[in-house]
A and B are shown apart, each in its own frame.
Chain A
């Protein structure tokens, strides 16, 4: 059987075996007293040096190797590399957590991120491969024949990829700071080194072969903890198949728990708290000065009764921590009010779809859900770093086949994520909620130190209610090994997997950004005469600059990972999808139309995100620009408007401009393999 495999398959089989042996060896060492911190370091050093070795072995100074891996990647391996390229820190760390928190509503991500591959397979991959250049802007330029299009495409590719790459590097920081206790900012730069070792030396070729290696690690790391958890809960280690039963148990507990008197009482307390904040906000600025006066008089009282210095200091600190001015108070209290209101809301059963208030039958939830699915789907079919991968196969048929392999390898993770969420929810409902606070499991305390878990006993009954517990979505996957009481080596494995997911995606994205800058802007637009050697030098130095820039932004800890990534999808979908699809399927699409469509789509999506999210930019004095969302659609689904506007603009403007000439007709005939159109 071994003989029937190709040489590459044998290499990677060997590599997988080696990795499993490494994990096994660490497990044995842990039993003999190896401290957790060293296990964390071993994983970090071992995996990153593996990637480095692959990167160095596939270093190259050939342009075709650097941009498209020499177009020699077989469908199977391109599928695997695409899987790693595709599954980012958001999929690995964030997705199961989002599903845990929002139940059915979170499945929009699962649907969109997989359904997009249908569009890639049917509408784009074969045609891009038949065209066979280096980048997505190349394709748009060849179809519409204009450098302006190329530059707009470059701008959109960089915008979407940069937002996305920041999210990846941020994920690296979260993982390294938790598992090897590096400082967040240092972790970010360690991750950067891991990214650069492969993309810098070998471009697409090195990135491809590292991504295959990273896929193996990330999928092993994702499946192991949840399989063990599934085995300990149900006796069957195939979580994807058996979590239906566990979901039923979750539903039973939910039915019993949600309306229990203690939960209802706690929710009422939070509602009161939210009401208090609302009152204080309404009475600004008097409420703030009154609060300050109250604390001052308390301090004076304490001083008069010569209380402990420590107590006086505590109240003084409270006074010092009060908001400085009414504007700041409003922001802070609004956030606190929103948090309290969220806890006061009755929880939604895990499997319930679109729980509306009855009046509109959950209409706005349905619309929002489908809008998000649409954006993520279209965004998937428009993200340049993904589409670029289909340039690397030897021929069109293999490009089509590799989309199948891509989705297959991706499904392994996406079919598991909902199971993760259900198993963790079961553990929380069965073994954390309704437990006396001093008897809570150890992982709660461990993760509350990092700030990803928090709880407070608001009703002071000494028992934890569900509404009193707040979990950050990132914690679900990262803490599962501890939740199930597994040895630390499994936690280290999960960290290595998360790192692999973030690094592989970041590699692909950085390559997209730099090839856009060096190939499309420098070579194609400014210096068509430059030597190949110079082009590669430019590529590599830009890679370095962009990577450091992204790491610097990530070190500022912006927003949550999943929302940032969702914006990147909307941006890419709005800018690229209409122009790409109409460019292949509609002969009449013209240069002016495409240019208008790309600019309008991009502008609408960016405008919508900016206006809806302006509230969170209040620190920059932009809070007043905040607008009410259209049709209650959230900013993560901005692409619905962007894509629609993009299509409309291309069609309208194209019909008003002169039909494209012979050259475009010929181009379309070539990518469709059609005989020349009649009359042309």
Chain B
């Protein structure tokens, strides 16, 4: 039954993206002072990530999740009214 695959695939996708989120948010930010030695578009890199970079990554994560979930639901024939 196609339904069998739906939850495991959703869960795997969820945890992978959550992992990316945690790395970007906590590990990258921990080293902000070190990153600040590099430059990006005139910004110190650590500052840039916290002010813009991370936020754009967050948006991309949600976009990617939505795209993959549409695919997963199509594959599993799930259609929430």
* Min C-beta distance of B8 to chain A, whole Å: 8
Residues of A within 8 A of B41 (CB): 241, 244
* Contact (A111, B62) CB under 8 Å given A351-B47, A353-B47: no
Name the one of B29, B42, B59, B65 contacting A408, with C-beta atoms under 8 angstroms.
B59
Question: Which chain A residues border B3 with CB–CB below 8 Å?
Answer: 673-675
Instruction: Report B57 CB to chain A, min CB distance, Å.
Output: 9
A351 to B48 CA separation, bound complex (whole angstroms): 9
Near A by CB (< 8 A), chain B positions 33-68 give 33, 36, 41-44, 46-48, 50-52, 54-56, 58-59, 61-63, 65-66
- How close is A401's CB to chain B, nearest CB, in angstroms? 6
Q: Which of A200-254 contact B (CB under 8 A)?
A: 240-241, 244-245, 247-248
Which A residues are in CB contact (< 8 Å) with B61?
118, 121
A426 to chain B, nearest CB (A): 14
A118 neighbours in B (Cβ, 8 Å): 17-18, 21, 58, 61-62
| Neighbour of A353 across the interface among B11, B33, B55, B80, CB < 8 A | B33
In the complex, chain B residues whose CB is within 8 Å of the CB of A674 = 3, 6-7
Q: How far is the CB of A516 from chain B (nearest CB, A)?
A: 26
Q: Contact check, A366 vs B30: say whether CB atoms are below 8 A apart.
A: yes
A415 part of interface (Cβ distance < 8 Å): yes
Contacts A244-B41, A351-B47, A401-B66 given; indicate if A111 touches B30 (C-beta within 8 A): no
**Please, which residue of chain B has its CB at the minimum distance from the CB of A414?**
B55
A141 lies within 8 A of chain B by Cβ: no
Q: Is B7 in contact with A672, judged by CB distance below 8 angstroms?
A: yes
State the Cβ distance, B60 to closest chain A Cβ, in Å.
Answer: 10
Per the bound structure, the CA–CA distance linking A78 and B44 in Å amounts to 35
A104 touches B81 (CB 8 A): no
Q: Bound state CA distance, A353 and B29, in angstroms?
A: 9
Q: Which of A49-57, A145-153, A392-400 contacts B (4 or more CB under 8 A)?
A: A392-400
* A302 close to chain B: CB less than 8 A: no
**A97-122 interface with B by 8 A CB criterion:** 104, 107, 110-111, 114-115, 117-119, 121-122
Chain A, 341-366, CB within 8 A of any chain B CB? 351-354, 362, 366
| A-B pairs with beta carbons under 8 A, tally | 127
**Interface SS, A side:** helix
| Complex partner residue of A122 from B18, B42, B73, B81, CB under 8 angstroms | B18
Tell me how far the C-beta of B25 lies from the nearest C-beta in chain A, rounded to whole angstroms: 5
In the bound complex, do residue B55 and residue A110 qualify as a contact, i.e. CB atoms below 8 Å apart?
yes
Q: Does A404 contact B (CB under 8 A)?
A: yes
Q: Which of A40-48, A369-377, A517-525, A558-566 contacts B (4 or more CB under 8 A)?
A: A369-377
Q: Which residues of the partner chain B approach A408 to less than 8 Å between Cβ atoms? A: 59
Residues of B within 8 A of A407 (CB): 58-59, 62
Beyond A104-B46, A673-B78, whether A117 also contacts B62 by CB under 8 A is yes
- B55 near A396 with CB under 8 A, answer no
Nearest B residue to A401 via CB reads B66
**Listed residue (A244, A369, A397) with the most chain B CB atoms within 10 angstroms of its CB:** A244
Note all chain A residues with C-beta closer than 8 A to B63.
404
Contacts A114-B58, A118-B17, A122-B17: A400 and B66 contacting too (C-beta < 8 A)? yes
The verdict on A403 contacting chain B, using a C-beta distance below 8 Å, is yes
Is B42 in contact with A247, judged by CB distance below 8 angstroms? yes
Inter-chain CA distance A119–B55, complex, in Å, is 13
Q: What B residues does A498 contact at CB under 8 A?
A: none
Q: Tell whether, in the assembled complex, residue B33 and residue A107 are in contact, meaning their CB atoms are under 8 Å apart.
A: no
Decide if A130 is an interface residue (CB 8 Å cutoff). yes
The distance in angstroms between the C-alpha atoms of A240 and B48, with both chains bound, is 11
Answer whether A354 and B51 are a contact pair too, CB < 8 Å, given A245-B42, A404-B59: no
- Indicate with 1 or 0, residue by residue over B1-23, a CB within 8 angstroms of chain A CB atoms: 10110110011001001100100
CB pair B62–A352 under 8 Å, yes or no, is: no
Q: Which one, A130, A362, A401, contacts B80 given CB within 8 A?
A: A130
- Closest Cβ of chain A to B44, distance in Å, is 5
Expressed in whole angstroms, the Cα–Cα distance for A374 and B29 within the complex equals 12
Do residues A411 and B32 form an inter-chain contact, with CB atoms below 8 A? no
Q: Does A137 contact B (CB under 8 A)?
A: no
Tell me, in angstroms, the Cα distance from A395 to B18 when the chains sit together: 23
Q: Are the C-beta atoms of B42 and A248 separated by less than 8 Å?
A: yes
Chain A residues, CB < 8 A from B30: 366, 370
Q: A352-B36, A354-B33, A404-B63 are in contact. Are A107 and B7 (CB under 8 A)?
A: no
Residues in B neighbouring A397, C-beta threshold 8 A: 69-70, 73, 80
B17 — which chain A residues lie within 8 A by C-beta? 118, 122
> In the complex where A130-B80, A240-B52 touch, is A353 in contact with B36 (Cβ < 8 A)?
yes
The reply on A418 being an interface residue by CB < 8 A is: yes
Give Cα A227–Cα B13 distance, bound, in whole angstroms.
Answer: 39
Taken together as a complex, chains A and B put the C-alpha atoms of A245 and B40 apart, in Å, by 11
Given contacts A248-B42, A354-B33, A373-B25, contact A123 B14 (CB under 8 A): yes
Nearest Cβ distance between residue A644 and chain B, in whole angstroms? Answer: 14
Q: How far is the CA of A395 from the CA of B69 in the complex (A)?
A: 14
**Shortest CB–CB separation between residue B40 and chain A, in angstroms?**
8
State A374–B21 Cα separation when bound (angstroms): 12
In the assembled complex, the CB of B45 is this many whole angstroms from the nearest CB of chain A, namely 10
The interface bits of chain A over 398-431 (1 if a CB of B lies within 8 angstroms of the residue's CB, else 0) are 0011011001100100110010000000000000
Inter-chain pairs besides A115-B54, A117-B58, 8 sampled, C-beta below 8 Å:
A111-B29, A117-B62, A248-B42, A352-B36, A354-B33, A366-B30, A404-B63, A415-B55
Top 7 A-B residue pairs of the complex, sorted by shortest distance between their CB atoms: A244-B42, A674-B7, A353-B32, A107-B50, A396-B80, A418-B51, A351-B47
A selection of 24 A-B contacts at a CB cut-off of 8 Å is: A107-B51, A111-B55, A114-B54, A115-B54, A117-B58, A118-B17, A118-B58, A123-B18, A248-B42, A351-B43, A351-B46, A353-B36, A353-B47, A354-B33, A373-B29, A396-B80, A400-B66, A401-B66, A404-B59, A415-B51, A418-B52, A672-B7, A673-B7, A673-B78
B residues apposed to A, CB below 8 Å: 1, 3-4, 6-7, 10-11, 14, 17-18, 21, 25-26, 29-30, 32-33, 36, 41-44, 46-48, 50-52, 54-56, 58-59, 61-63, 65-66, 69-70, 73, 78, 80-81
